[in-house]
Amino acid sequence: MDSSNIRSLVIEDNAVHARLILSLLAKAEAVSFDVVHVDTLTAGLARLAQGGFDIVLLDLVLPDSQELDTFLRLRKEAPDIPVVILSGLEDINLAARAVESGAQAYLIKGQINSAQLERSIRYAIERTRAQSGEWDSPMFRLAQQQFLKAAQIMDLDDNFRQRLLFPQRTQVVTFPFRRDKHEEVETVFGYRVQHVLTMGPTKGGIRYHQEVNLGEVSALAMWMTWKCALMQLPFGGAKGGVRVDPTGFSRKELQRLTRRFTSEIIGMIGPDKDIPAPDMGTDENVMAWIMDTYSQQVGYSVPAVVTGKPVVLGGSLGRKEATGRGVVYTIEDAAKHMGMKLDQSTAVIQGFGNVGSNAARFLAEDGVKIIAVSDATTGIYNPRGLSVGSLLEYIREHRFLKGYPDGEEISNAELLELPCDILVPAALQNQISAENAPRINCKLLAEGANGPTSLEADVILNNRGIFIVPDVLANAGGVTVSYFEWVQGTQNYMWSLDEINGRLHKIMTAAFHAALERSQRDHVDMRTAALIEGIDRITQAKLLRGLFP
Ligand code: NAD
C-alpha cells in the first residue's frame, strides 16, 4: 500500500451523509484519498470483489441489508480489509457490536472533522496490519527461502535450520510522535531485531520507511548475519526500523522521532551489545542523535554505540561512500572474471541515494558510461552518458531527479529493462521478479539494495547467463567500514582514508573470491555460494560454543 494515498470504499445510502464524508476526505492534509462511493451493500461487495481497496467506511443500515448483518456479510466476503463503521448517534450500540465482531472502529456522523476521520482511517489500517501481518512480509519469505535453499544444498542439520530461520531477539515498540504543525500526537511502531547473538555484538542499520514491519526488519537482520559472516566481521546480524514515511519530515520532527525511538530500544543497544547504523531514510544526523540520546542516558559520551555518524563525532573517513565503493570493488572483480572491460561498458543504476549515487560516482571514475539513473520521482536516460557531477549538483539543489534537463525521463520499470552491461539496483527490495526477469538486459547484476531479486527471478537470470553479485556480498562495504569505525571508536585511534579504502578493498575482494570459488566448486549460483560461506561460519561458531545449559 502507498501510505500517502488511501483507496477507500464508502458504502452509505444517505446522500447528505455521503457528501459530508467525501468532503471531509477531500480536505485531508497528511494523505490523499481515492474514494469510490456506492449506496448498497450489493454494489459495495461487487466493488470489493474487484480488489484494490485499503479501507471500507460502512453504514450499517442500507436498503439491501440491515444492522449487524451488513457488517457480517461484508466480513465474510472480504475478511482482511479494515472496516470503519459510520454510525448515527442513535445507532451507537449497534456500531459497538460491529466493533466487537471485528470492525476496527466506529465514527459518529456529524461529530467528526477531517483530521479525526483521516486519523481513524490510518489507524484502522495500521491496526489491521499489526494484528495480521507483522511477520508476513515478502522480504522475510524471500530471506527464509534463500536460507532454506542454501541449507538444503549444505545438508544443514535440521536444528540449525530451525534456529536460524527466525531471529533470536525481537523488540516491538509503539510510541508517541508529535508532528510540528499538528497539535495531535501520532502513535508509531518501531522495531529492533537481533538475528544471531553468537558471533559478538549485533550490527545493523535503522530504516525509516512506511512499509517497515517485523518481517521486513527480520529479513534484513538475517541478511546482516550472512553478510558479516561472509566478510569475517565479529558481529551477528541486527536491524531496526520505524514505520513512518519520513519524506517531508522537518529536522525537528526527525530528531524527536529518533530520540524517542532510541530511548524505547535503549536496553537493547550498546557498543558491546548491538550497534545501529544508517539505512533507508536515516543518515549521519540520525546516528548523531542516537549517540547523543544514549550518551545522555548513561552519563558519558559513547561514540561506539552507532556507526555511520559524522566524522567530527568519531565517524570514520570513507563510511558515507563505503557501500557504493564496495559495490564497485565487487563489480571490478566480477568484470575481471567475466573478461569485461569497464572503460568500454555501460551502467544503469536504480536509486540515487547514498548507495546509488556513490556507485555511479566510482563507476564513472572507472570509465564506465552511466546511461540511466533513477530515484523515487523519475528515471533519467541518456544513451550518450550522464554526468554524475551534474546529477549530484542537481540533487543538491532540487532534492530529487525530477526535471533534470540532460536526459529523457523514463519510469523505474523501463529503466530496469534498458540494454546495458551493468545493472545496479540500489533503491528498494523486490524490483526484479519472475515477471520482468526475462526482459532484464544486462550482463552483470550487482545488488546494491537488499533483496531486490525474487527467488524465481534469480533462477531465470542465472539460466540466462547473467552474472549476479548478490546483495550480501555487493553491498557489504557499508558494514565493513562500520566495523572499522567501531574498532577506531573502541580503540580511540583513527585511521587514514587510504588505510580504510585499502583494507575495505582487501576484504571485499577476498569475500568475492571465496564466494566465486565456492560457486565453481559446488556448482551453485553466486548467491547460494555467498550464503553458504556465511551460514557455514555461523554454524561452526555455534557448534564450538556448545549448548547452554
Ligand atoms: P537512501 O534513502 O539514501 O536512497 C534510496 C534511493 O532510492 C533514493 O534515491 C530514493 O529516491 C530511491 N527510491 C525510493 N523509492 C524508490 C522507488 N520506488 N523507485 C526508485 N527509486 C526509489 O538509501 P540507501 O542507503 O542508498 O539504501 C538503498 C538500498 O541499499 C536499500 O535497500 C538499503 O537497505 C541498501 N543498503 C544501504 C546501505 C548503506 O550503507 N546506506 C548498506 C547496505 C545496503
Q: For residue range 528-549, what is the model confidence (pLDDT) as tens digits?
A: 999 999 999 999 999 999 988 9
Cα–ligand 1 centroid distance for 352 (angstroms): 7
- Compute φ and ψ for 108, nearest 5 degrees: -90, 115
Determine the residue of 354, 357, 400, 469 to mutate for testing ligand 1's pocket, defined as the one with the most ligand atoms within 8 A of the Cβ atom: 354
The confidence band for 195, taking pLDDT boundaries of 50, 70 and 90, is very high
Whether residue 335 is predicted with pLDDT greater than 60 in this model: the reply is: yes
Phi-psi region of 102 (alpha: psi -120 to 50; beta: other; left: phi over 0): left
Q: What is the pLDDT of residue 3?
A: 62
- Compute φ and ψ for 357, nearest 5 degrees: -70, -35
Whether residue 455 is predicted with pLDDT greater than 70 in this model: the reply is: yes
Cα–ligand 1 centroid distance for 322 (angstroms): 14
Half-sphere exposure of 124 (CA within 13 A, CB side): 25
Asked if residue 6 lies in contact with residue 121, where contact means CB atoms within 8 angstroms, the answer is yes
Determine the residue of 323, 361, 380 to mutate for testing ligand 1's pocket, defined as the one with the most ligand atoms within 8 A of the Cβ atom: 323
Residue having the nearest C-alpha atom to atom 23 of ligand 1: 280
Measured in whole angstroms, the distance separating CA 532 from the mean position of its chain's CA atoms is: 24
Give the ligand 1 atom nearest the CA of 277. Answer: 40
The whole-number average pLDDT for the span 323-343 is: 98
Dihedral of the CA atoms 473, 479, 481, 482 (nearest 10)? 180
CA–CA separation, 105 vs 295, rounded Å?
Answer: 41
Is residue 281 lining ligand 1, measured as CB closer than 6 Å?
Answer: yes
Q: What is the pLDDT of residue 132?
A: 67
Cα–ligand 1 centroid distance for 470 (angstroms): 16
Is residue 318 lining ligand 1, measured as CB closer than 6 Å?
Answer: no
Mapped onto helix, strand or coil, the DSSP state of residue 288 is helix
Residue-wise burial string across 13-27, b where 16 or more C-beta atoms lie within 10 A, e elsewhere: ebeebbebbbebbee
The whole-number average pLDDT for the span 258-285 is: 97
Cα–ligand 1 centroid distance for 376 (angstroms): 9
pTM of the model: 0.88
Whether residue 527 is predicted with pLDDT greater than 60 in this model: the reply is: yes
CA torsion sign for 430, 435, 436, 438 is positive
The confidence band for 404, taking pLDDT boundaries of 50, 70 and 90, is very high
Q: What is the pLDDT of residue 97?
A: 87
Residue with the larger pLDDT of the pair 539 and 123: 539
Is residue 357 lining ligand 1, measured as CB closer than 6 Å?
Answer: no
Is residue 480 lining ligand 1, measured as CB closer than 6 Å?
Answer: no
Of 416, 2, 17, 489, which is closest to residue 245 (Cα–Cα)?
A: 2
Cα–ligand 1 centroid distance for 355 (angstroms): 6
Is residue 448 lining ligand 1, measured as CB closer than 6 Å?
Answer: yes
The whole-number average pLDDT for the span 112-124 is: 88
Q: What is the pLDDT of residue 158?
A: 83
- 109, 149, 203, 239: which one is catalytic? 239
Whether residue 106 is predicted with pLDDT greater than 90 in this model: the reply is: no
Give the ligand 1 atom nearest the CA of 475. Answer: 43
Q: What is the pLDDT of residue 137?
A: 86
Q: What is the pLDDT of residue 467?
A: 98
The whole-number average pLDDT for the span 317-346 is: 97
Is residue 282 lining ligand 1, measured as CB closer than 6 Å?
Answer: no
Residue 190: CB atoms within 10 A of its CB come to 25
The confidence band for 526, taking pLDDT boundaries of 50, 70 and 90, is very high
Residue having the nearest C-alpha atom to atom 42 of ligand 1: 478
Of 538, 451, 484, 437, which is closest to residue 160 (Cα–Cα)?
A: 538
Is residue 279 lining ligand 1, measured as CB closer than 6 Å?
Answer: yes
Each residue's pLDDT tens digit, 9-53:
999 999 999 999 999 999 988 789 999 999 999 999 999 999 999
User: Is position 27 annotated as part of the catalytic site?
Assistant: no
Whether residue 1 is predicted with pLDDT greater than 70 in this model: the reply is: no
Each residue's pLDDT tens digit, 495-507:
999 999 999 999 9
The whole-number average pLDDT for the span 341-351 is: 98
The whole-number average pLDDT for the span 165-177 is: 96
Cα–ligand 1 centroid distance for 427 (angstroms): 4
Residue-wise burial string across 270-301, b where 16 or more C-beta atoms lie within 10 A, e elsewhere: ebeebbbbbbbbbbbebbbbbbbbbeeeeeee
Give the ligand 1 atom nearest the CA of 471. Answer: 44
The whole-number average pLDDT for the span 442-453 is: 97
Question: Which of 101-115, 138-152, 255-269 has the largest mean confidence?
Answer: 255-269
The whole-number average pLDDT for the span 145-160 is: 90
Give the ligand 1 atom nearest the CA of 448. Answer: 30
The whole-number average pLDDT for the span 431-441 is: 97
Q: What is the pLDDT of residue 126?
A: 82
Each residue's pLDDT tens digit, 52-100:
999 999 999 999 999 999 999 999 999 889 999 998 878 888 988 888 8
Residue with the larger pLDDT of the pair 460 and 111: 460
Is residue 208 lining ligand 1, measured as CB closer than 6 Å?
Answer: no
Give me Rg for the CA atoms of the chain: 25
Q: What is the pLDDT of residue 2?
A: 58
Residue having the nearest C-alpha atom to atom 35 of ligand 1: 449
The whole-number average pLDDT for the span 514-518 is: 98
Mapped onto helix, strand or coil, the DSSP state of residue 59 is strand
Determine the residue of 228, 275, 282, 375 to mutate for testing ligand 1's pocket, defined as the one with the most ligand atoms within 8 A of the Cβ atom: 375
Cα–ligand 1 centroid distance for 280 (angstroms): 5
Is residue 352 lining ligand 1, measured as CB closer than 6 Å?
Answer: yes
Q: What is the pLDDT of residue 129?
A: 77
Q: What percent of the chain has pLDDT over 90?
A: 83
Whether residue 317 is predicted with pLDDT greater than 80 in this model: the reply is: yes
Residue having the nearest C-alpha atom to atom 41 of ligand 1: 279
